[in-house]
Amino acid sequence: MTPALREQVRQRAKDCCEYCQTPQSCTRLPHEADHIRAQKHKGPTTLTNLGWSCALCNNHKGSDASAFVPGTDELVRLFNPRVDEWHDHFAWNGPELGGKTKMALATIELLKINSENRVSLRRMLIEVGLFPPNFEG
């Protein structure tokens, strides 16, 4: 991946994770360009197949393209920031991310977006006015 392409991905996302919305400035580990369709599944390294992801979301997502809806045996595709509108699927309830759709619920679960440590960090960021980001993502 070229530095210019990586920079385009970062700027498009306003330097916030396109899954959990955490700003890069609020994390220790650098955000990463995520192949939405993994390279091992023949996903291209193109602007239309890349998303900006915090290290935690990217690590939990791995090469997965789908996940089970919590509490069911229903397999659904994961949220895709290139084709899905974030606000159509997710909503913040304080520091916890809620899912409006099965896709969102499965994505939240697989990416462990509401893990205790991540919710605790967001609670602190809310208290100091750094979260959620001030944009429509």
The ranges assigned to domains in the chain are 3-127
Q: pTM for this one?
A: 0.94
DSSP string spanning 100-126? SSHHHHHHHHHTTTT-HHHHHHHHHHH
Q: Could you report the average pLDDT of every consecutive run of 10 residues in the chain (137 residues)?
A: 97 97 95 96 97 98 97 98 97 96 98 98 94 66
Q: Is 93 helix (H, G, I), strand (E, B) or coil?
A: strand
Asked if 67 contacts 78 with a C-beta cutoff of 8 angstroms, the reply is yes
Residues 6+ apart with CB under 8 A from 99: 89, 90, 105, 106, 107, 108
> Can you give the length of the chain in residues?
137
pLDDT at 11: 98
